[in-house]
Structure 1
């Protein structure tokens, strides 16, 4: 296929993705211009850092001890992975991007097959693409993709994709009055995929609905303030038939609930579960970055009612939109230091050991007073009450 034809197809398909549609993309071994892509969220602070680094490079002291001289981007890599290879602090991704802004104009335009070369000169480091012909050669081919043009993602999106729209935190417990499942066919208590669910409540004739378990309050572990109500996602349902009222033989009015079919489930549904209309799907464009202002927060809950969590699990923290949190913020999570007794001291002095960082969080969904975060790393289990700060 001629290169001009490939480029034309690529432009059209990327435009479709920008509208939120799944498309087939043509993956070549080249980097396309930024104009062919949607505008990704790059803050002024990140751009300023990148511009500063672009002028002078990065001090060698900022490089990871075992930073490679060259690296070929692989399918499945993320911007976070590559940042860790070259930099001591991977959340400082603008420095990786800014090492050579002339070539890496947008960190989202880094593709599998591209070769990144680290240049060290006069105590500074610069990152650039190796454009020598024949270094890396990938034949254009069609493949199904839900990633924009095959460019690498900032973080492992598959870990948080289910939570982008389905995890909900409400300011008030609105689900108390939402439509609810009152029964299943033939008296079934637990309902599975494909089962009918009978629903009572105020409904609009929309086809697609989400099913949630009754919301639980999220309390600040420090102040005990109720920050919101977390509704656990159960699955999805399809509207089949409207409810009605009928007159029985004895003249009494009877309520006939609406009928739904359960289409996908994460757990079995049952009477009392609530329904909400399905909203538009978010198209995430995450850019890992440290908060511009100091953060003093704490872990509120472990998603799924666990007592502790490890790497790749989800937690809620007591900082949200009102506190300046943004999707993409990277935070350090700290374990509160223990209180011990100095047994060699005749007065038996009580000591408070220092708080120690033991992991990193990546904020990916922000509500007014609460945010969800992915545990990127954890040396020990993360628990409710653990503090989180800027890295």
Structure 2
């Protein structure tokens, strides 16, 4: 009787152990379905209590383009203190090969109807640009009174290089030249920082002189301000897939900042000539250096770059672009690397 009791007790304990192990494995292999509004930052904080883990998910899941771009319906596996994105719709290609033409049309329609444009807030004004090969369209030569500093609603006179292209109602941007910008990796002059002063609208054309009214002033405006194409301030930017995998560097920042993070404006040495457009996403990274101790033991070793954050292109010129940092996990500096997201 005693021997039988101990056999049943041992069997019960074994079942409890196996059941506990199964529960632990189930917890470790939990599958979470992404909901609208989720980001990798949120998921890292929720499941492994470390919101700063999300760059590792980027590095280990190349199909993810942006923590803001994971979409409802994707699956996340919580595995041994890690988060792993399950590839979206892995059977899609197989199913597509067996579908009828009518079924394919229906699916295409469904995708179009449910797809949402993703926008990023881009608050601020007067971001400016880096002048390289661009040529001013004209110059502000005078105003209707003798005041040195001009502002909104003041009437001014412009001298335009091509008067035949100017019509009443045209809007132009006003800029002043700032400091020269040197490339951080060559130390050669790359361009000139152009500070955005505001914009004006043509009200009259009198002979060779163009009369215009200042519509807005971001800074104090003086005679000699240069006239360039007007680009309306963007309050929201629609994300667009990149078409180039060319890499570059951060070469300047607004307001002469030396370190920058989320919501700061930066400038890169890539532009429309490289295929960039407003809305392109790029990663910011910095080479990771091995310690002297590691080098002594393992010899020279090249480690993967450390991901610092991500930014969105605001405006492009031929060779440069301005961008706003949308996520930062570490301080960013001039000279840090940028790589456009294309997938």
Say yes or no: TM over 0.5. Answer: yes
Cα 1:308–1:285 shift into 2, 3 Å: closer
Give the Cα separation in 2 of the matches to 1:279 and 1:233.
Answer: 11
Cα 1:334–1:193 shift into 2, 3 Å: same
Residue 119 of structure 2 contacts residue 237 of structure 2 at CA under 8 Å; is this kept in 1? Answer: no
Give the Cα separation in 1 of the matches to 2:235 and 2:218.
Answer: 22
Cα 1:368–1:225 shift into 2, 3 Å: farther
Is 1:359 aligned with 2:309?
A: yes
Matches within 5 A, 1:119-158: 153-158=117-122
2:318 corresponds to which residue? Answer: 368
1:241 corresponds to which residue? Answer: 204
Compute the TM-score of the two structures, normalised by the length of structure 1: 0.50
Q: CA deviation at 1:167?
A: 4.4
CA displacement, residues 222-280 of structure 1 (integer Å, 9 cap, x when unaligned): 124444554322212122333448xxxxxxxxxxx543211112222111111235479
Is 1:308 aligned with 2:259?
A: yes
Residue 206 of structure 1 contacts residue 277 of structure 1 at CA under 8 Å; is this kept in 2? Answer: no
1:270 corresponds to which residue? Answer: 222
Give the Cα separation in 1 of the matches to 2:235 and 2:172.
Answer: 19
1:223 corresponds to which residue? Answer: 186
Compute the TM-score of the two structures, normalised by the length of structure 2: 0.56
SS of corresponding position for 2:212: strand
Give the Cα separation in 2 of the matches to 1:95 and 1:304.
Answer: 30
1:191 corresponds to which residue? Answer: 150
Cα 1:353–1:360 shift into 2, 3 Å: same
Give the Cα separation in 2 of the matches to 1:354 and 1:234.
Answer: 41
Matches within 5 A, 1:327-346: 327-335=278-286
Give the Cα separation in 1 of the matches to 2:273 and 2:232.
Answer: 23
Is 1:174 aligned with 2:135?
A: yes
Residue 182 of structure 1 contacts residue 199 of structure 1 at CA under 8 Å; is this kept in 2? Answer: yes
Give the Cα separation in 2 of the matches to 1:119 and 1:338.
Answer: 34
SS of corresponding position for 2:335: coil
Give the Cα separation in 1 of the matches to 2:157 and 2:204.
Answer: 10
Residue 177 of structure 2 contacts residue 192 of structure 2 at CA under 8 Å; is this kept in 1? Answer: no
Matches within 5 A, 1:198-217: 198-202=157-161, 203=163, 204-207=166-169, 208-214=171-177, 217=180
Give the Cα separation in 1 of the matches to 2:230 and 2:150.
Answer: 20
Residue 237 of structure 2 contacts residue 314 of structure 2 at CA under 8 Å; is this kept in 1? Answer: no
Q: Runs of 5+ in structure 1 lacking a partner?
A: 1-64, 98-115, 128-148, 246-256, 346-351
Give the Cα separation in 1 of the matches to 2:289 and 2:39.
Answer: 36
SS of corresponding position for 1:271: coil
Q: Which moved more, 1:323-332 or 1:356-365?
A: 323-332
Q: Runs of 5+ in structure 2 lacking a partner?
A: 1-28, 44-53, 59-63, 78-84, 90-112, 297-301
Residue 185 of structure 1 contacts residue 196 of structure 1 at CA under 8 Å; is this kept in 2? Answer: yes
- Higher alpha-carbon Rg: 2
Q: CA deviation at 1:193?
A: 1.0
